[in-house]
Structure formats: structure tokens, C-alpha cells
Amino acid sequence: MRLEDIPTPALVLDLGILKRNLAHMQAAVARHRDVVLRPHMKTAKSRAVAELAAPGHGPITVSTLAEARYFAEGGWRDQIYGVGITPQKLDAVAALNADGAAVKVITDDAEVAAAIAAHPGPIEALVEVDVGEGRGGVPPEAALEVARALGDRLAGIFTHAGHSYGGRSDAEMTAIAEVERAGAVAAAEALREAGLKVRIVSLGSSPTALHAAHLDGITEVRAGVYMFGDLFQAQLGTHAEADIAMTVLASVIGRKPARGALLLDAGALALSKDRSTEKAPHDYGFGKLLDIDGLPAFDGALVTRVHQEHGEAAPMPMLAVGAKLRIAPNHTCLTAAAHECYHVVDGGREVIAIWERVNFW
């Protein structure tokens, strides 16, 4: 099967670019002695990708219980479920762990920590610390209260400098990475000074993982979007535009010469309505037009509008209805989530594999 033959819209994943992106991150983390890479599978949601990103069933991060189950059954036992846990979800985690997994949860809430401590099943937790993102987590100085409530279920400290996505230069990224590191280490030290055992000190985002000057005191780094890349990450300097491994294959379904536009069968569902690049230096609308080979053949052409199943691309030459194109996404995690599987190519148009995804919750 070749890309020309695939029903559209569909995801295309370029294996060569994926491997290059994985090697780049592995090398970036290998700069730091005794720091392990714990890839975040929220982007790929695929065992086939995990074989490459976390080979030998290495440690991973997950964002849903569906991922936790899917990867545990696939052999990836060492997981952190990186979204604040609720007491109601503990039974499901404990059941996985009773079957041989080691899914660790996170919390920033002393009441939840007490529920974890009291749970009869095997569950460990990390205390989520906020180093400036302003999403989940307690300030580093407040980690001790939550950690104490966990009792002997304490596994470590967890943080995520999501505000690195607001950084606009390598220097800013390096500065945010240092704040992330220092906050996590300060929280870990406070716990240790209180006599608690802190095994894991975990941080990460793709930008800070690549830009950290040093990671003293950190045991592991998490990152996910680096595997595929996207137009937003490219503008952060995380990678080049040519390093975007995942694109959407679409067909022309209409021609509008009066406005220099083509209608495509990839719209709001196939691309997502994410507009991450809206506030980036270059606004790519709902995606950048590439040719069927993934090359930037249409200067300045964007997906300018989307409806549920329609996308409008402009300015474009009037290709035939049925002609196939590819679209680089704003935010690869959200675009991928709209699709059932990847059509894997390796630089050409030949589809060498179809890789499933574990969607939903």
C-alpha cells in the first residue's frame, strides 16, 4: 500500500524522522550522568513507538488510565501516571500493580495523599510540585505536608515546567529549566531533611529536557512531544520544521479559484482546533500545507479555516479534486488524538506498517 491509496484523512508517521528525534532527545538526556529518560507516551499512545522510545520496556509516563493499562499489558511496567490522581481511580491503579505493574501516581493534595496511604493495594505516589507553571502542584516549600501524608507510599517529587512553552529563546529555556530543576531539588531536599526517603526526582518538558544546562539532583526527565514535533515546537527551537515526523494526509475535495483556495477533507476533527501557533512568531492557522512527500512545496500555504470535516487551504494552486497533500500540525498531541492509527512511511510513499493508538480513557 502507498500513500496514494490510503483513504483520507489519515495520519502519516515518518519512521526515519521519528528515530532521529528519539536519538536527539536520548543524546540530550545522556549528557547528564545518572539521569534517566522517562518518555511521555501521551503523544504517541502506541506500543510500536514505545518500542523505540522506551526500548527494553524502559520507564514511561502516561496521561490516562487507558494508556497505563495498554502499556502495562505490553510489558512497560515502570510507569508514572502524570495527571493528579483521584481516590476513585486508586482501585484501577492498584489492580494493575497487583498484576505486576509499578504504576506510580501523583498528587498535590494532603487528603488524597492520606487516601493513598490508606489504600490496601500496592500504590506509590510522587508529590507534584509547581515550579511556576501555575497548573497542578504545591510550591516546593509545601511539599512536605503532602509527603508526610503519604507515609511509606512516598516515591518522590514530580514537576513539569509547562511554562517553558512560553519561552522564546534558548537562553529563556535554559533559565526555565534551571528554575524547574532547582524547585524539584529544593522540594526533595526539604523532604530528606525531614527524614523522608526520596527515591525519584522527576521533571521535564520537551523544551527544558533539551535546554537544561545541568540536572544535578534530578533522577529522571520526562518529555513526549519531541517524538513527533509540530509547528509550535519548531518555533520554540525544540527542533526544525523538517523534523516534524507526524502529518495528516488529506485529499482535495473542492477548488475555489476565485479565492485561490482548495477545500480538503481534513477539518476540525482531523486536525483538531488547536491554534498553538496563534501567539507564536509565525501563525500557521490550522496547519501548514506540504506535498504528498511531506515537503514544503506550497509557499505560505496554510489551512486558513476549518469546519467539522472541511479544511480550506490557501493560497494554493488549483490541483485536481482527489489530489493528496499533507498538513503539518500546530500541536501534534491533539491532532494525533483524533485518529485511530498511524500509517508509517520511511521517507517514501510506501506504507511499511500500520501502528495502532490507544485513544480515550
Applying CB under 8 A, the residues found at the interface with a second copy are 7-10, 42, 63-65, 83-89, 92, 107-109, 111-112, 134-136, 162, 251-255, 259, 263, 265, 268-270, 272-275, 305, 307-310, 312, 320-322, 333-334, 337-340, 359-361
Q: Is the peptide bond before 329 cis (omega within 30 degrees of 0)?
A: no
Q: Taking the mean position of all CA atoms in its chain, how far away is CA 281?
A: 22
Dist. CA 169–CA 119, nearest whole Å:
45
Q: Which is nearer to a second copy, 35 or 103 (CB)?
A: 103
**Pair 328, 244: CB distance under 8 Å:** yes
Q: What is the DSSP string of 186-251?
A: HHHHHHHHTT----EEEE--HHHHHH-S--TT--EEEE-GGGT--HHHHHHTSS-GGG--EEEEEE
Question: Do 188 and 6 meet the contact criterion of CB atoms below 8 Å apart?
Answer: no
CA distance 249 to 1: 14
Minimum distance from CB of 122 to a second copy (Å)? 20
Pick 75 or 166: Cβ nearer a second copy:
166
Query: Residues 33, 205, 211, 233: is their CA dihedral positive or negative?
Result: positive
Q: 96: phi > 0 → left, psi -120 to 50 → alpha, else beta; which?
A: alpha
Question: Based on CB atoms, which residue is closest to a second copy, 254 or 348?
Answer: 254
**Residue nearer to a second copy on the CB measure, 53 or 263:** 263
Residue found under cell 485518529:
339
Q: Determine how many CB atoms are found less than 10 A away from the CB of residue 323.
A: 18
Q: Cβ 70 to a second copy, closest distance in Å?
A: 14
Give the shortest CB-3-to-a second copy separation in angstroms.
12
Nearer to a second copy, 166 or 322 (CB): 322
**Which H/E stretch holds residue 320?**
none
Cβ neighbours around 30 below 10 Å, total: 10
Closest CB to a second copy among residues 92, 292: 92
Question: What is the nearest approach in angstroms of a second copy to the Cβ of residue 205?
Answer: 11
Judged by beta carbon, residue 8 or residue 235, the one nearer a second copy is: 8
| Smallest distance from a second copy to CB 168, Å | 20
* Minimum distance of a second copy from residue 47's CB (angstroms): 19
Output the smallest distance, CB 216 to a second copy, in A.
Answer: 28
Smallest gap, in angstroms, from Cβ of residue 193 to a second copy? 25
Residue closer to a second copy, measured from CB, 206 or 219: 206
Nearer to a second copy, 31 or 307 (CB): 307
Say if CB 125 and CB 107 are below 8 A apart. Answer: yes
Strands of the sheet with 36-39, listed across from one edge: 36-39, 220-223, 200-203, 154-159, 125-129, 102-107, 78-81, 60-62
Nearest distance, CB of residue 67 and a second copy, angstroms: 10
